[in-house]
Amino acid sequence: MAKQQAEATNPVNEKLKALQTTLEKLDKAYGKGTVMRLSDTKVLDVPVISTGSLGLDLALGVGGVPRGRVIEIYGPESSGKTTLTMHCIAEAQKAGGLAAFIDAEHAFDKGYAEKLGIDTANLLISQPDSGEQALEIAEQLISSGAIDICVIDSVAALVPKAELEGDMGDSKMGLQARLMSQALRKLTGVINRTGCCCIFINQLRDKIGVMFGSPETTTGGNALKFYASVRLDIRRIGQIKDGDNVIGNRTRVKVVKNKVAPPFKVVEFDIMYGEGISKAGEVLDLAVDMEVVKKSGSWFSYGTNRLGQGRDGVKEMLKDNPDLLEELENKIKEKIKGDEKALLDTQEPNIADDGELE
């Protein structure tokens, strides 16, 4: 009897009962799963779309760009921003998904998209007249729940109506920043609910009067920096030549922000003109870094087999041997999973949890 009275007056039990009643009311009012315990659902298993780059998928920590999140890809001109997003679209389509491309820059190249593996016949494309129209189209497409990936190219080209209707010399301070802030407030919930991956491509500008640190900043205000779950900084770091002809770029991508895995990972790969990201070249470079493939002088060997001489020759050999390429890919994934510091940026200082430089 005393035990039953103690249980009845136990404040912890009373709190749990009150919580359960509240949860039931919320489920009835807003739908099941409005509030949930992390132990009740697989919230932490983030569904992803591959980027088309093995190294970048591994650097992102979850195997690609996360669905249901806002992603920002920024960098200087001709650094590979659109190429990277086109690879994401191609990978989403390969998995049976639908893709939308909001071409605010009016610079979409159908021939190049097809070379990268995009099924242009089933790609939804829009070339809007204003920033408001672009973001409204994006919101309605994402709200439908049918779109798996939506790319907006680019934030800098999202011109507010007021600016378009004004004269060329008019000053319109902060209009684009306000537009982006309002749009992201509306979009974030819809993106999360539908599981669509929304990628914003952004350009770089220089801030005036910066004496210390980098003067570079992205366009469209600060809202996108906060709402983005993943921010990728992509740079061209060199040219790839065949004799005197430039046939591609060496590209470096840094994961500047990552809410789904540890950030600050860095990866490098080749972007070949007319082909996109060179998978064979990237697998070979990672295999050498992870000591899966041994390099002695200009010779490459895997186990007891000699793969060939010269990086370009071995790249071509791997292209012709997809089974060997897949085997090397799997070995690299195993190695990187067991090494937390793999692909970590060692060239720039990283910020520790206490805010001090490491």
- Cite the annotated binding site for ATP by residue number: 75-82
In contact, 225 and 218? CB cutoff 8 Å: yes
Helical pair 311-320 and 322-337, crossing angle rounded to 10 deg: 110
How many angstroms separate the CA atoms of 91 and 49, rounded? Answer: 7
How many angstroms separate the CA atoms of 109 and 93, rounded? Answer: 18
How many angstroms separate the CA atoms of 120 and 103, rounded? Answer: 14
Detail the residues annotated as belonging to a binding site. Answer: 75-82
User: What Å distances lie between residue 123 and 10, 71, 149, 221, 278, CA to CA?
Assistant: 60, 20, 10, 30, 23
Joined together, the tokens standing for residue 21 give 């009643």
For residue 266, give every residue at least 6 positions away whose Cβ sits within 8 Å of its Cβ, in sequence order, or none. 59, 252, 253, 254, 255, 343, 344, 345, 347
User: What Å distances lie between residue 253 and 56, 96, 235, CA to CA?
Assistant: 8, 27, 6
In contact, 46 and 62? CB cutoff 8 Å: yes
Please, is 352 exposed, middle or buried when counting C-beta atoms within 10 Å of its C-beta (0-12, 13-18, 19+)?
exposed
